[in-house]
A and B are shown apart, each in its own frame.
Chain A
Amino acid sequence: MVDMNTYWPIVLIMGVGTFVIRFSFILIMDKLTLPDAVHRMLRFIPAAVLTALLVPSVLLHKNGVTSFAGWERLIAALVAVLVAWKTKNILATIGSGMVVMWGLQALL
């Protein structure tokens, strides 16, 4: 159970800290010129960061211990990658991933 005495302090500090992270470069960029190397690194942010987010969350369950989340998730994710690549359609990607995962869950 969560201790409500520390709940709001944690939420508020998280809120302020997260806002500062989000605001940082957006606020100061007018007064700042980025080195060319940094500028060229920016374009790799979507590919690198989103994949770093999604791979562990597809493959690993974290209920206290980290463990393999199951073949149905891995296969469904690969199907979704294929659908995303071929169609570039968001609904089709999410829909096909969920349907394949549920289908395999019923079969396996």
Chain B
Amino acid sequence: MSKNWSTFFSGVRITSPLILGVAPFGLIFGAICVTTGVPEWGAIGFSTIVFAGASQLVVNQLMAEHASMAVIILTGLVINMRMFMYSASLAPHWTGLHPIKKGLLAYMLTDQAYAMSIARYNEPDGDTINKPLFYFGSAITMWGCFNITTVLGAYLGAFIPTEWDLGFAIPLTFIAVVVPAIKDRPAALAAAVGGAVALVANDLPYNLGLMAGAVSGIVAGYAAERRQTNG
């Protein structure tokens, strides 16, 4: 097997344990979407076209509450604005790639594929691998998982008992990828400030609390690092 394909499969392999946490996400979205009166293929189309679960759940809820179109779209896009940051973070690793390939990889961008790829790129031998192909393996694993489970959730979702609280698996996937990414004090501060601000700012309109937390955390980490290096 060529070195390239083994890089692709290592992306698949390293990401596959996250299926345990992302599968419930697809199941829950598919199920909830159908209970709000959307036909099964409508829920499935939503997942394949937008492919951003957190925003899909909120947008679906706002649609069920008959919020105005502008509020619904704005809220959904604000939740997804964090991916501007992922885009900026991945971009230096993919320079020179054909724009169509970049577009395909961008369409599949998720929190999980981003976190797994950046962690791999930052390892000592990270510059020796085919970076886009590693990401592709990671991203397509998440894509397949979320879309297949959306289909299952849409058709079978009514059978999942809500007491199981399967949705809790979603933040657990973030814990699983963020904790190993915190390797020094500035990064720990970035996480602490990000989490605290997002919590306190949770009631901001349009779900702006997430971006408020994200930006404060990044600035806090950067400031702490500057203090460290400047003595």
Given known contacts A34-B92, A53-B111, what 9 new A-B pairs fall within 8 Å (CB)? A3-B63, A14-B77, A22-B109, A23-B102, A48-B216, A48-B220, A55-B198, A58-B171, A94-B176
Residues of chain A touching chain B, judged by Cβ–Cβ distance below 8 Å, are 1-4, 6-15, 17-19, 21-30, 34, 37-38, 40-60, 66, 73, 76-77, 80-81, 84-85, 88-91, 93-95, 97-98, 101-102, 105
Near A by CB (< 8 A), chain B positions 138-171 give 163-165, 168-171
- Contact across chains for B17 and A56 when beta carbons are under 8 A apart: no
Chain A residues within an 8 Å CB radius of B216? 48
The answer to whether B17 and A91 touch across the interface, beta carbons within 8 angstroms, is: yes
* A17→B91 CA distance, assembly (Å): 19
Closest to A9 in B: B69
Interface size class of B (residues with CB under 8 A): 35 or more
CB <8 Å contact, B89 and A42:
yes
Q: Is the CB of B172 within 8 A of A47?
A: no
Knowing A10-B63, A47-B187, say if A24 contacts B87 (CB, 8 Å). yes
Whole-angstrom distance between the Cβ of B22 and the nearest chain A Cβ = 10
Contact of A48 among B94, B102, B175, B217 (CB under 8 A): B217
Q: Chain B nearest CB: distance from A105 CB in Å?
A: 7
Q: Is the CB of B96 within 8 A of A30?
A: yes
What is the bound-complex CA distance between A56 and B84, given in angstroms? 21
B54 contact set on A, CB distance < 8 A: 53
Chain B positions 53 through 67: 1 when the CB is less than 8 Å from some CB of chain A, otherwise 0: 011000110011010
User: Binding site of B, secondary structure by majority: helix, strand, loop or mixed?
Assistant: helix
Name the CB-closest residue of A to B165. A101
Name, among A37, A52, A81, the residue most crowded by chain B CB atoms within 10 Å (CB to CB): A52
Q: Are A17 and B73 in contact (CB under 8 A)?
A: yes
Q: Determine the distance from Cα of A8 to Cα of B45 in the docked complex, in whole angstroms.
A: 9
A90: chain B residues within 8 A (beta carbon): 17-18, 20-21, 173, 176-177
Q: Please report the C-alpha to C-alpha distance between residue A73 and residue B64 in the assembled complex, in whole angstroms.
A: 27
A26, B172: Cβ atoms under 8 Å? no
Known: A14-B55, A47-B221, A60-B202. A25 touches B63 (CB 8 A): no
A-B contact pairs, 26 of them (CB 8 A): A1-B64, A2-B60, A3-B66, A10-B63, A11-B46, A13-B73, A14-B55, A18-B83, A19-B106, A22-B80, A28-B91, A34-B88, A42-B88, A44-B217, A46-B181, A48-B194, A49-B218, A50-B174, A51-B174, A51-B192, A53-B171, A55-B195, A56-B209, A66-B202, A94-B173, A95-B20
